[in-house]
Chain A
């Protein structure tokens, strides 16, 4: 296979595999947060902000994978 074909497959694989673990992590985070809000609805405001921060950290990993895919495709 020539370089162009491999680059294309690599770009697709990078984002496909790299998006899996962050999605799992965000799902688990949000699930736990929903659970704790369900147990204690008054604490919803106090839970939301730290949850958002933790989700940002997880999402950053997916963004790294996306940037690698974009570099493979466009550079």
Chain B
């Protein structure tokens, strides 16, 4: 039973190691691009059918959710692309990671003295690098949207507030809380997906038949919830950043 915290490199392009989670992330991107291209090349009907209907339902539901948080249709249309991309990328990566073949099909290699199985595919979000990248994009986008919405001076006043020593301290705390968001976003997603993978590996190792089924249901649920939470929290922080507090 091979459980490795870090993603294992499958091959190298020059001196750049291509890990199995990178390959899985590429797979999710390719899948999403294919679905989008299929939708684009078909003629979009006013009364949707089939794939267009499914996508429109999901998008409408999400728009309603974001509208409920921002209470402002213009802000929703500004925030929607980024947030929805987070949602579908994380959702597709999580669900793709549950497919048969992920984590099981690979080569035996000599790593650190013993023979371990290096799988060709591994759930994209079970690699801290992927989740950290998503967290960095989310937090930096929050800062940029905040500055675009209320201006550099007003946004800077949230962190560097010289009106009184107490407010200065509060500003420092706000800054530290922004830094904590990097860690909280990345580790929440990484912890959930990696722990789910470890759980499935251990259960399948102990009882290969029937017993893993409820755990797969749990993983389906957790995958959806974590994607929703990542995007919901991004939206909430975007809303906070774009609001002038006075």
Contacts and interface: CB of A to CB of B under 8 A. Distances in A.
Contact of A53 (B3, B195, B229): B229
Interface of B: 3-5, 65, 68-69, 184, 187-188, 190-192, 194-195, 198, 225, 228-229, 232-233, 236
A56 B188 contact: yes
Q: How would you classify the secondary structure of chain B's contact residues: helix, strand, loop or mixed?
A: helix
Contacts of B184: 57, 60
Interface string A56-75: 11011001101100110011
B5 A70 contact: yes
B192 to A, nearest CB: 6
Interface residues on A, range: 10 to 19
Contacts of A75: 5
Given A53-B236, A63-B187, A64-B187, A71 B5 contact: yes
A71 B5 CA distance: 8
A49 B191 contact: no
B114 to A, nearest CB: 14
Nearest to A69: B195
A58 B102 CA distance: 30
A59 B69 CA distance: 21
A53 B240 CA distance: 14
Contacts of B236: 53
A39 interface: no
B228 A66 contact: no
B232 A52 contact: yes
Choose among B3, B187, B236 the residue with the greatest number of A CB atoms under 10 Å from its CB: B187
